[in-house]
Amino acid sequence: MSEKRVSKATLNKSFWRWFYGNLTCFTQEHMQTFGYMWSMLPIIQELYPTVEEQAEKLHTYYPFFNTEPQIGSIVVGITAGLEESRANGNAEIDDEMINGIRAGLMGPLAGIGDSLIVGTYIPILLGIALGLCDGGSPLGIFFYIIVWNATSIWFQKTIYNRGYALGGNAVEVIVGDRATALRESAVLLGQVIVGAMAASWVNITTSFNVAGVTLQDKLDGAFPGVLTMLFVLLCWWLMSKKKMSAVKVMLLMIVIAFVGVLLGFFDPGLSYGEDLNI
């Protein structure tokens, strides 16, 4: 009996199904389960000839699954390799082993992906895009769309294929000591970059004046940029500790700015009378 191999075309089909459909039929009960099953279906159909076998093997992937979708593509690649090995008679690979690897990886990978991709890489790309949009240029929009999609597809396809090649051995590569050290270094670098972006793009000053003394001048003499730092820390605290969404925080900032202008604490620098020649 010849060895069963998953064809390159089937691997590509599985990958693109995960790339476009990892949130297929998304519910709070199953999260990414059905997107995962849809991605594994071509693998199983090619490895097992009968509908009964296909249904049995596909049921392996029915338990709950949820992780960061970009880096999560490696799990699909790993299980594709494991499924191929199981189809060739490897008795050590069963439902329990596959689901043990899936369950063991989805948590750590979610933390890795959220910190490196969502918390570091995307903000860096957005920071560059904002700089390119200076003066109303649309260049930043095209930069983000092209660079994000190109790098995201390349990254996900690479780790999917790497996971397929490594199979179960990929676990040590992903969560081993060296990988942990590299990940922590990247997170630290991302935090420094995001902090620099906040200092560059956020600028909060006050026009509050008492007896001819401007509060902003006193603050600049003691701690330049202190209001900017406090507002950034306030936003971080609300989202991180109070679990407020970004939209709610932005709305709160609008309210604070509006009230601050009415009370004279902030000066928007507008001069309607001069602009209208009144």
- Segments making up each domain of the chain, as ranges: 8-193, 204-268
Q: What is the pLDDT of residues 16-60, one digit of tens each?
A: 999 988 888 877 778 888 889 899 999 999 888 888 888 888 888
**Phi, psi at residue 3, to the nearest 5°?**
-70, 140
Q: Which of the residue ranges 106-120, 145-159, 172-186, 208-222 has the most confident prediction, judged by mean pLDDT?
A: 145-159
pLDDT at 273 over 60: no
C-alpha neighbours within 13 Å on the C-beta side of residue 111: 9
- CA 81, CA 49: separation in Å to the nearest integer? 18
CA-closest candidate to residue 118, choices 19, 202, 190, 66: 190
**Phi, psi at residue 242, to the nearest 5°?**
-95, -5
Question: Which of the 8 DSSP states describes residue 31?
Answer: B
CA 99 from chain center: how many Å?
Answer: 24
CB under 8 Å to 119, separation ≥6 — which residues?
Answer: 187, 190, 194
What average pLDDT does the chain have? 80
Question: Which of the 8 DSSP states describes residue 3?
Answer: P
Number of H helices, E strands in the chain: 13, 2
Q: What is the pLDDT of residues 95-152, one digit of tens each?
A: 777 777 787 778 778 877 877 888 788 888 888 888 888 778 888 899 999 999 999 9
Amino acid at 84: E
| Token output for 66 | 């949820």
Q: How many C-beta atoms lie closer than 10 Å to residue 14's C-beta?
A: 26
| Token output for 144 | 């983000």
pLDDT at 278 over 60: no
C-alpha neighbours within 13 Å on the C-beta side of residue 112: 20
End-to-end CA distance of the chain: 92
Token pair 């009144």 in the structure block, residue: 278
Q: Which of the residue ranges 8-17, 53-62, 183-192, 221-230 has the most confident prediction, judged by mean pLDDT?
A: 8-17
Tell me the percentage of the chain whose pLDDT exceeds 70: 84
